[in-house]
Amino acid sequence: MSNKFIRFIKYFIILPLCLLMWSCLDYISVGDYEEHLKKWNKLNILDYQLSLSLRKNIDDNFPKKAIIIVKNGIPESSDPPSWLTNGEKSTIPEFFSFINKEVKRLDNVKHSKKGYFRVWYNIVYHYPTEIYSNDYNWNIELTLQGETEQE
């Protein structure tokens, strides 16, 4: 075979196939989930405020937002009030549980449909600060009672 033909195969057949395969791969990264969960639980933070933002897709210009007051580990109030009455996630343990359930759900999905799922954590208080997937993006800011925002 000539060198030109081999180059043709490399650049016009193999390279596009590799790019196509790469784009189909799933990406699931929950960081050091177990370690952050363990450290969060050890801190035993029960009184805090959460500022939450949920985008249901990338093009969502108006994300759902809420501020939740948590006392003794239980959501006490929310702005808007409908956040709690609708049963939305409102505590850090609920977000850890959500991450765990989402990973298990994605593990049971066929490989070609898994998509993207990534979690980032606060390095001081060890709570998830962002949960991002193909379908949604959660931003979570925690404020300890009597302190300023921690992220």
For the chain, the domain total comes to: 1
Take residue 53 and report the two structure tokens written for it.
């933002």
Mean pLDDT computed over 3-16: 57
Q: How far apart are CA 43 and CA 34, in angstroms?
A: 14
pLDDT tens digits, one per residue of 73-104: 999 999 999 999 999 999 999 999 999 999 88
Examine residue 15 and state whether it is found in any structural domain, yes or no.
no
Q: How far apart are CA 110 and CA 44, in angstroms?
A: 38
Examine residue 20 and state whether it is found in any structural domain, yes or no.
no
Examine residue 4 and state whether it is found in any structural domain, yes or no.
no
Are 117 and 133 contacting, i.e. CB atoms less than 8 angstroms apart?
yes
Helix (H, G, I), strand (E, B) or coil at 95: helix
Q: How far apart are CA 80 and CA 87, in angstroms?
A: 12
Amino acid, res. 71: K
Amino acid, res. 125: Y
Tell me how far the alpha carbon of residue 109 is from its chain's centroid: 18
Examine residue 2 and state whether it is found in any structural domain, yes or no.
no
Examine residue 3 and state whether it is found in any structural domain, yes or no.
no
Mean pLDDT computed over 15-29: 54
pTM more than 0.85: no
Examine residue 19 and state whether it is found in any structural domain, yes or no.
no
Does position 61 have pLDDT exceeding 70, yes or no? yes
Mean pLDDT computed over 17-31: 59
The helix (run of H) or strand (run of E) holding residue 100 is: helix 92-107
* Residue 132 to residues 75, 80, 135, Cα–Cα distance (Å): 23, 23, 8
Tell me the pLDDT band of 3, cut-offs 50, 70 and 90. low
Examine residue 47 and state whether it is found in any structural domain, yes or no.
yes
What is residue 4's predicted lDDT score, i.e. its pLDDT? 64
DSSP-derived letter for residue 49 is E
Q: Which of 59 and 137 is assigned the larger pLDDT?
A: 137
The helix (run of H) or strand (run of E) holding residue 51 is: strand 48-55
Q: How far apart are CA 140 and CA 122, in angstroms?
A: 10
pLDDT tens digits, one per residue of 99-136: 999 988 888 876 656 678 899 999 999 999 999 988 88
Tell me the pLDDT band of 70, cut-offs 50, 70 and 90. very high
Tell me the pLDDT band of 148, cut-offs 50, 70 and 90. very low
Name the residue range of residue 136's domain.
27-150
Q: Which of 19 and 26 is assigned the larger pLDDT?
A: 26
Examine residue 46 and state whether it is found in any structural domain, yes or no.
yes
